[in-house]
A and B are shown apart, each in its own frame.
Chain A
Amino acid sequence: MASLLEARTPGFNPYSVKYSPYYDSRLAVASSSNYGIVGNGRLFILGLGPQGIQIEKTYDTNDAQYDLAWSEINENQCAVACGDGSIKLFDLNVPDFPVMNFHEHKRETFSVCWNPVTKDTFLSSSWDGTIKIWSPTRPSSLKTLPVGNCTYSASFSPHNPSLISSVSSDSHLRLFDLRTPVNAKYHLVATIPIHSPPQIPGSTILPRLANGTTYAGTIPSEVLTHDWNKYSDTVIATGGFAVRKLQWSPHARDVLCSAGYDMTVRVWSDGSALPPQMAGAGPGENVIRCGQELGLMNRHTEFATGVDWCLFGTGGWVASVGWDERVLVWDAHTLLRR
């Protein structure tokens, strides 16, 4: 098989791509016409076979589609976040129309995530500043978590079904724990400023990076994406401006992939597998390790908006989408071997 497969989504600009958690040969792509500014959306169900990537099914929606999540309990179902604030659940055995429609958000729904542990719920985040938790069998939401800002991304922890994280336009990462009682904070247990330097209690010393420079933080900006590390329950990667989507590898604990507005898809190492490079770091000193770019995929000709790792096989296959109306499936090993 060639190391790069390509499919087109004519007339629609993809926003998100996800591998099926059940089949290594099935992909879903959420897309929008006119870059999501005006017009409809279309969900593409793609199959990988000897003939390359084939479009197996499509589902149209009246508004743009910004994200999708495969069901963890039904291999044929897929939830799609739509620009009209709804989440639509499609079943591949039912043509043309969704089997469920969840519509409570007041503005665009920008992300959906299925609970990977209990598998019986999924969540959505919206520009209306809320996160909602849903059951696929109930049209009304089970719970609403307020954020107060445009929430571009929300996710269940892969380690605990009660932990929910989100990133938003206020440059913060929020952590919700559903095990806590509903109080004034609505399960909010942590708010982390992303672009500020980490603080050590009782210390005003700025942390240093592993390359020896001092890190004073960056200008706060919108945070568009984040993902839990599958192997470390305390590590979350976030992506600010120019990073539209990032995804930790399900096969290597230190590898992640990002798709960005520079029209590239990059593979990174977080540096945890590399030996310490900073000399002179004293005990207890707050040193931030530096990541390393492992490779760059430069085939997209418009903004790269979605990326996902294949859960199966040798662990190097990546699917990426961009506004160039293309879906690319490629082997990241060709980058990792540099």
Chain B
Amino acid sequence: MADSMCGPSNGAKNLLAHTDRDRTLHQDRLVNAPQTGPGAMAFEGFQQGGPVNAGFEHGPLLPDMNPAALHRPPMAMSPAPMAARMAAEHHAAMRLESPATGGVGNQAWVNEFAGMKLGNGTPVQAAPIPSLAMNHPVVQQPMLLPTTGVSSFAPFGVQTGMPFQTYQPNLAAPIAHNQLPGQEVAAQVESAEVKDAFADLFDQYEQQADQLTEHQRQEQEFEQEQAKWMAEHGPQVLPPTAEEMVAINSEMERIADEQEQEEHARRRENADLARAAEDILRAVSGNNSDKFKHSNFLELMRRIAAAEIVVNEENFIDADTGEKIETGDLVAEAPSDNNSDPVAGENGAPTAPPPAPASA
């Protein structure tokens, strides 16, 4: 490989080479071990001999640890090689630092590792990783880590401190893909729900699409019918014949006559109203009191008599502007009421308190 040919450019490459070597040295350990993927080779070195191996090989706590159970679809496992690679580097580094490297019974190391605490002093088992794998009691035991393949490195990746913290995001994916029975069921349920949700959405989309199509079809149908009607009854491309012109002219004259008659009738009604208004004004002309000067009704009569206001259908309108007239607001100022008596006789009514009102 190019990297090997060029020599290590940094410590990580060295570690990678070491793990490669380490992996080749322990092929015999894989005889009875479940093959969970490429990453499974990486940590064989941690499991050589001793009770750890025994526990692992007889592993009663892992009923689903068979190749079929651990099998994952290619897409789901796609992050695993990378995670396994990082996990291998992780373990290789740990082994370099550990006095038990290459030893046979490294229970002491395991115990020591189990007693390790994070930077904040949290025991390994109590590491609050929000992962389904971490919450499983089996996964929380370091000795069983090899049996779970790549996912078993999640605790390590998280718990071994700063150098490998950067790998945690990458490790999280394999953890999520390697789930235990309960999680598997939950995942299947969730998957079913997601499928159902997607199915519903697709159904809605299809319905909307169908409706849209129906609407478009109706639009087209309407346009076709409209075009058909216009072709039959609409304006002809050809100019009207002489007979048609006679009929058209006759109809136009009839409409014009009707409008003219209506206009005449309206003018006549307004003229009659103007004359009536003049009569009313003449009848009250002898009264020059403030009330009559400020009367809205008489002001309306004055304007009607002057043809400033005319009747149009059900309203009074301004003859010039055509705007509707509010007949109650023609006079801005109401006559002043200087009489303080509530009932107010012109000659001065008594101000004695009134008798009791009518009883019910």
Contacts and interface: CB of A to CB of B under 8 A. Distances in A.
Interface of A: 1-4, 10-11, 13, 23-25, 34-35, 37-40, 48, 241, 261-264, 295-299, 301-303, 310, 312-314, 316-317, 323-325, 330-331, 333-335, 337-338
Contacts of A1: 354, 356-357
A314 B350 contact: no
B296 A302 contact: yes
Contacts of A324: 296
B179 to A, nearest CB: 69
Contacts of B341: 334
A14 to B, nearest CB: 13
Contacts of B292: 263
Given A333-B354, A334-B352, A303 B342 contact: no
B343 A263 contact: no
B68 interface: no
Central interface residue in B295, B297, B341, B350, by most chain A CB within 10 Å: B297
Interface of B: 273, 283-284, 287, 291-292, 294-297, 300, 311, 313-316, 327-328, 334-335, 337, 339, 341-347, 349-360
B293 to A, nearest CB: 11
A254 to B, nearest CB: 19
Contacts of A13: 297
A38 B315 contact: yes
A84 to B, nearest CB: 12
A310 B356 CA distance: 13
B328 A331 contact: no
Contact of A323 (B297, B345, B351, B359): B297
B171 to A, nearest CB: 76
Q: Describe A's contact surface by its main secondary structure.
A: loop
The 5 A-B pairs with the shortest beta carbon distances in the complex, nearest first, are A313-B358, A3-B354, A4-B342, A331-B354, A24-B358
Contacts of A264: 346
B301 to A, nearest CB: 9
B311 A37 contact: yes
17 contacts: A2-B354, A4-B342, A10-B328, A11-B328, A24-B360, A35-B327, A241-B283, A296-B346, A302-B291, A323-B296, A323-B297, A324-B296, A325-B328, A331-B343, A334-B351, A334-B352, A335-B349
B115 to A, nearest CB: 87
A236 B309 CA distance: 41
A333 B327 contact: no
Given A35-B327, A298-B344, A334 B297 contact: no
Nearest to B280: A261
A325 B329 CA distance: 12
B224 to A, nearest CB: 44
A331 B350 contact: no
A19 to B, nearest CB: 9
Nearest to B331: A301
B355 A316 contact: yes
B354 A296 contact: no
A303 to B, nearest CB: 7
Contacts of A34: 315-316, 327
Contact of A263 (B291, B300, B344, B352): B291
B203 to A, nearest CB: 47
Nearest to B292: A263
Contacts of A23: 360
B296 to A, nearest CB: 7
A10 B335 CA distance: 18
Contact of A330 (B343, B350, B352, B355): B343
A312 B350 CA distance: 23
B185 to A, nearest CB: 64
B225 to A, nearest CB: 39
A299 B343 contact: yes
A317 B327 contact: no
B42 to A, nearest CB: 87
Given A38-B311, A38-B315, A331-B343, A301 B334 contact: yes
B360 A302 contact: no
A235 B251 CA distance: 64
A292 to B, nearest CB: 13
Central interface residue in A38, A262, A312, by most chain B CB within 10 Å: A38
B295 A338 contact: no
Given A34-B327, A35-B327, A334-B350, A4 B358 contact: no
Contacts of B315: 34, 38-39
A296 B358 contact: no
A3 B343 contact: yes
A39 to B, nearest CB: 5
Contact of A301 (B295, B349, B355, B360): B295
A317 B314 contact: no
B287 A337 contact: no
Contacts of A40: 314
A54 to B, nearest CB: 15
A325 B330 CA distance: 14
B291 A338 contact: no
Contact of A3 (B291, B342, B358, B359): B342
A310 B349 CA distance: 21
